[in-house]
């Protein structure tokens, strides 16, 4: 460097070399990137530590802040680290130190902290001047033997101190505690694992180095997070262990408890790893406010020193399982941990699988054991060498003392000892025993070395006693044994593996803890529906628009004529207008008075007890507005059947229309226009049908009509906005109340009449029970007439044709608003053309209550029907107890009504085999309640 006239201190032009900026940026950035990768972000596969963590542990070890010493101020440890080894800010050092002391961050804590070291809620730790810390017991196994030349040291940043490049870790810390770091162009994210499982897998790999991953996974089934939780599925774990990359789904541990009567809550006791509990609760509250998650009434944190407990109280009409599943979907109650097992191996970043990490650790520990053994061997040989000199001195004690007394000073005494020749007969075997080649034996004489001479001069007089001489011999013998052991370890790989096995067992006894994270074989998200237990439900809708579902098994079957039980709580003059039976996983379509269609799953309807009023439909269907639900259709459970099915609509004014069911597959939340209705008209029924079946309409004034579904009678409408065609011509003040779809059977009028007479005669013969009800006494004459007609018709049908018609027979139940009803064969209802006035469906008797038909519906043998009154009472009656009579008959008593009480709804129920029936010997007129040991659930009339 020389000065130039224009620019003093600048180099001469000949010393300047041109460098392209691309090359300079490339080299400089590469140096920076490698510095970050190696010196900051990535852990070493050998000890599982980053430089800052390694420096903290080593500095505390050097300062004596060990587990068996009192706590020291954290600021003192941070100062030691920053001043000697880590030339960065104190906050980065303290943050790393704090994390090693947090039980929710580390699977095995390496720092034993005292004071506020933060919380799982994300609270910041107290300042380092307030907290205290020392090394945890587990850290001893990471630092043990570091002073025995087991690892390499390097100068610190100012070359005033030496620091280890790696700690001689006695257990696989990288897998046990995991690691997280972001370098330049790469990152690592290694999950923690159970200490006992990792050490057991290491021991197994030592025994069988050729062990495959599948066998290793029997020891380590997956990560084990300190915060617990549940891992869903094993495929992500398998990929991570095999390749070093994978995704592990972690779910919080939650239970559903009944905290008080009719109120349940979701109790969170464990959350996924690295999830902030306070932030999690804020997120849940935000979702509830935004109505993304419905059914949450309250959230509170009841966590204390005994453990975590977050209570999410669920509304009464909500399903806790569904709410919990939504929380899994939208919050960090379920997270995905992306495994990226990138670590430094030989100073180079390497993506490693499970076996790779364990193999690297075993190789490292073997090297540590080898270096330690060599170090100890040298120490043992040095000690043995000194002991040989002491043995020589003791054996020639008089000569040694005389030589020393005659020397003018210590140096002369040492030189005299080294020049003298001593008898080698006693020490020759010892030199061979300890493999000592430091002494030379010539002609049976031995020379003392300088080290031995110094040892003799430093010998205390008490060592000259007989007992002390024996101790010297004993120590020399022990040293000889130890030297041989060390030589065996150094020379044998098998012996080194035995030592490693023993040391791992010692570490396991200290750090082993039970597994905290459960591993579930289930993989993938659950939809809300899969959490709902399948079952039959009774869905009830009131006139004022309240809906609810109640398990079917709440209602037990009674004999006809019973008093029923309260099936729906109502307010004021509200009455039940519609009830039906459906499966929890079935779709239900709702048709409003305005002609719109809505769709909802049964399990999404609010569940309530029989006496509860339910939930307003306007809350369930927000876009319903001022309309009312006038028709409800449970759709087939198997959605594959929808393509082959049609929908037939019936209005109160007698109109009908046919559409494809697939036209209603995609229904928006706001609803879909289903049918164009004239002013004052309303939908009374919607049913699924197929080409060739029959439509059966029944009116309030006991008229009915049956016509076949064909393209000529009721064509398939392409759009949903039409009003349809006329199905039945109504009389004055009449309206359609029921819609049924029947199978079409080709039979002549004569065949149908003959079959009816023969079937009625057969039923009379099979039912020999006498009528005891005075109201049914008029049926005795009718039975006799039918028997006579049946006997006259025996020759009109062949047995084969009769059996064919009997197999295809369908039964219709007609119930009046006075509680009377009867069954009739569908053959009794002739097929006519569409749009006619129809024919008589029921004759009302003067001595029986009722003047209108409440419902006409198809029923099956062995099933039950539910009758609902405007007072909210229900009764479940087996249809087999209702007599089969001609369609004009007024029927028998089905429901004993109170004064001014009317039947408003009748619907079939499906017996699932769990229902209990009242004993048949009870009087049918007895006021039986169907509520089993309940207080006011079943009220007698």
Active site amino acids: 130
Q: Which of 271, 297, 268 is nearest to 285 (CA)?
A: 297
Listing DSSP states for 224-260 in one string gives --TT--EEE-SHHHHHHHHHSEEEEEEE-EEEEEEEE
Cβ atoms of 246 and 236 closer than 8 Å: yes
What's the first-to-final CA gap in the chain, in angstroms?
116
Q: Which of 366, 376, 362, 361 is nearest to 149 (CA)?
A: 376
Strand 230-232 relative to strand 518-520: parallel, antiparallel, unpaired?
parallel
- Taking the C-alpha atoms of residue 231 and residue 251, their distance in angstroms, rounded to an integer, is 6
- Quick one: which H or E segment has residue 597? strand 596-601
- Taking the C-alpha atoms of residue 673 and residue 623, their distance in angstroms, rounded to an integer, is 12
> Phi then psi for 634, rounded to 5 degrees?
-70, 125
411-417, long-range: CB within 8 Å, 24+ apart, which pairs? Answer: 413/453, 413/457, 414/450, 414/453, 414/454, 414/457, 415/453, 417/448, 417/452, 417/453, 417/456, 417/457
Cβ atoms of 685 and 632 closer than 8 Å: no
**Interacting residues of 19 by C-beta distance below 8 A, sequence separation 6+:** none
Cβ atoms of 833 and 505 closer than 8 Å: no
The strand order across the sheet containing 873-878 reads: 565-566, 873-878, 864-869, 903-909
Q: Locate tokens 């004021």: which residue?
A: 572
Q: Is 347 helix (H, G, I), strand (E, B) or coil?
A: coil
509-513, long-range: CB within 8 Å, 24+ apart, which pairs? Answer: 510/137, 510/138, 510/141, 511/108, 511/138, 511/141, 511/171, 511/176, 511/195, 511/196, 511/199, 512/195, 512/196, 512/199, 513/108, 513/194, 513/195, 513/196
Tokens encoding 367: 């090297």
Q: Locate tokens 């399948």: which residue?
A: 534
Tokens encoding 44: 């070493």
- Taking the C-alpha atoms of residue 836 and residue 726, their distance in angstroms, rounded to an integer, is 9
- DSSP-derived letter for residue 533 is P
112-119, long-range: CB within 8 Å, 24+ apart, which pairs? Answer: 112/67, 112/71, 112/136, 112/137, 113/74, 114/71, 115/74
- Taking the C-alpha atoms of residue 690 and residue 743, their distance in angstroms, rounded to an integer, is 9
Listing DSSP states for 161-188 in one string gives SEEESS---SS-HHHHH-EEEE-SS-EE
Q: Which of 197, 141, 205, 198 is nearest to 169 (CA)?
A: 141
- Taking the C-alpha atoms of residue 171 and residue 179, their distance in angstroms, rounded to an integer, is 15
Tokens encoding 837: 């006035």
Q: What is the 3-state secondary structure (H, E, C) of 609-625?
A: CCCCCCEEHHHHCHHHC
Give the CA count within 13 Å in the CB-facing half-sphere of 142.
32
Q: Is 207 helix (H, G, I), strand (E, B) or coil?
A: helix
CA distances from 729 to 408, 428, 701, 734 (A): 146, 132, 12, 10
């Amino acid at each position: 460097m020389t000065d130039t006239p224009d620019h003093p201190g600048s180099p001469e032009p000949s010393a300047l070399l041109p460098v392209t900026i691309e090359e300079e940026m490339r080299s400089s950035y590469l140096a920076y990137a490698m510095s970050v990768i190696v010196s900051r972000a990535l852990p070493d596969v050998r000890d599982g530590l980053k430089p800052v963590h390694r420096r903290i542990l080593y500095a505390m070890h050097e300062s004596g802040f060990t587990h068996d010493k009192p706590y020291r101020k954290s600021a003192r440890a941070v100062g030691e680290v920053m001043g000697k080894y880590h030339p960065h800010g104190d906050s980065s050092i303290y943050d790393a130190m704090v994390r090693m002391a947090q039980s929710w961050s580390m699977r095995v804590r390496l720092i034993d902290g005292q004071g506020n070291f933060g919380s799982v809620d994300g609270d910041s730790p107290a300042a380092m001047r307030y907290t205290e810390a020392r090394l945890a017991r587990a850290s001893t196994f990471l630092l043990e033997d570091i002073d025995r030349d087991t690892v390499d040291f390097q100068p610190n940043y100012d070359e005033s101190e030496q620091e280890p490049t790696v700690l001689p870790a006695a257990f696989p810390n990288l897998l046990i505690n995991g690691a997280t770091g972001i370098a330049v162009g790469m990152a690592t994210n290694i999950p923690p694992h159970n200490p006992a499982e990792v050490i057991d897998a290491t021991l197994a790999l030592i025994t069988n180095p050729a062990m495959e991953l599948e066998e290793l996974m029997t020891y380590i089934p997956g990560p084990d997070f300190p915060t617990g939780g549940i891992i869903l599925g094993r495929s992500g774990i398998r990929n991570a262990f095999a390749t070093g990359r994978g995704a592990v789904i972690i779910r919080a541990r939650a239970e559903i408890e009944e905290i008080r009567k009719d109120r349940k809550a979701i109790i969170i006791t464990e959350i996924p790893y690295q999830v902030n509990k306070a932030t999690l609760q804020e997120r849940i509250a935000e979702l509830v406010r935004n109505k993304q998650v419905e059914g949450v009434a309250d959230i509170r944190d009841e966590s204390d020193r005994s453990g975590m407990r977050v209570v999410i109280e669920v509304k009464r009409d909500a399903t806790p399982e569904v709410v919990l599943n939504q929380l899994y979907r939208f919050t960090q109650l379920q997270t995905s941990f992306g495994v990226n097992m990138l670590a430094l191996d030989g100073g180079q970043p390497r993506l490693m699988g499970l076996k790779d990490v364990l193999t690297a650790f075993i190789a490292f520990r073997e090297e540590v054991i080898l270096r330690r053994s060599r170090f100890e061997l040298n120490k043992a040989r040095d000690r043995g060498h000194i002991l040989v000199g002491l043995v020589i001195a003791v054996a020639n004690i008089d000569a040694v003392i005389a030589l020393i007394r005659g020397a003018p000073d210590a140096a002369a005494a040492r030189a005299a000892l080294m020049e003298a020749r001593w008898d080698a007969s006693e020490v020759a075997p010892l030199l061979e025993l300890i493999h000592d080649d430091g002494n030379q034996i010539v002609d049976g004489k031995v020379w003392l070395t300088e080290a031995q001479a110094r040892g003799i001069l430093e010998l205390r007089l008490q060592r000259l006693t007989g007992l002390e001489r024996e101790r010297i011999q004993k120590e020399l013998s022990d040293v000889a044994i130890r030297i041989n052991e060390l030589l065996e370890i150094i020379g044998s790989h098998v012996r080194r593996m035995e030592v490693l096995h023993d040391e791992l067992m010692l570490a396991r006894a200290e750090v082993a803890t039970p597994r905290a994270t459960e591993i579930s074989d289930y993989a993938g998200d659950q939809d809300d529906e899969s959490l709902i237990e399948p079952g039959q439900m009774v869905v009830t809708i009131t006139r004022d628009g309240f809906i609810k579902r109640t398990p079917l098994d709440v209602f037990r079957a009674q004999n006809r004529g019973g008093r029923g039980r309260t099936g729906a709580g109502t307010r004021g003059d509200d009455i039940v207008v519609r009830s039906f039976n459906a499966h929890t996983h079935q779709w239900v379509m709702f048709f409003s008075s305005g002609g719109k269609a809505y769709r909802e799953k049964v399990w999404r309807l609010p569940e309530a007890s029989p006496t509860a009023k339910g939930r307003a439909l306007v809350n369930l269907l927000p876009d319903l507005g001022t309309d009312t639900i006038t028709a409800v259709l449970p759709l087939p459970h198997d959605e594959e059947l929808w393509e082959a099915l049609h929908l037939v609509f019936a209005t109160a004014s007698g109109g009908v229309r046919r559409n494809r069911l697939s036209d209603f597959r995609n229904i928006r939340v706001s609803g879909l226009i289903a049918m164009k209705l004239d002013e004052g008209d309303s939908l009374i029924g919607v049913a699924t049908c197929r080409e060739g079946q029959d439509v059966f309409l029944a009116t309030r004034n006991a008229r009915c009509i049956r016509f076949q579904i064909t393209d000529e009678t009721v064509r398939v409408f392409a759009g949903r906005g039409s009003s349809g065609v006329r199905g039945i011509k109504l009389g004055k003040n009449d309206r359609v109340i029921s819609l049924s779809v029947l199978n079409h059977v080709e039979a002549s009028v004569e065949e149908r009449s003959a079959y009816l007479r023969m079937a009625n005669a057969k039923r009379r013969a099979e039912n020999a029970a006498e009528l005891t009800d005075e109201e049914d006494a008029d049926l005795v004459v009718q039975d006799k007439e039918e028997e006579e007609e049946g006997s006259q018709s025996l020759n009109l049908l062949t047995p084969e044709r009769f059996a064919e018609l009997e197999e295809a027979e369908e039964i219709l139940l007609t119930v009046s608003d006075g509680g009377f009803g009867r069954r009739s064969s569908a053959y009794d209802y002739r097929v006519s053309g569409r749009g006619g006035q129809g024919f008589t469906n029921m004759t009302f008797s003067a001595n029986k209550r009722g003047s209108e038909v409440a419902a006409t519906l198809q029923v099956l043998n062995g099933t039950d029907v539910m009758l609902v009154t405007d007072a909210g009472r229900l009764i479940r009656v087996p249809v087999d107890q209702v007599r089969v009579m001609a369609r004009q008959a007024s029927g028998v008593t089905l429901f004993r009504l109170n004064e001014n009480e009317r039947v408003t709804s009748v619907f079939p129920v499906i017996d699932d085999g769990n229902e209990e029936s009242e004993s048949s010997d009870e009087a049918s007129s007895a006021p039986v309640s169907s509520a089993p040991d309940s207080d006011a659930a079943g009220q007698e009339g």
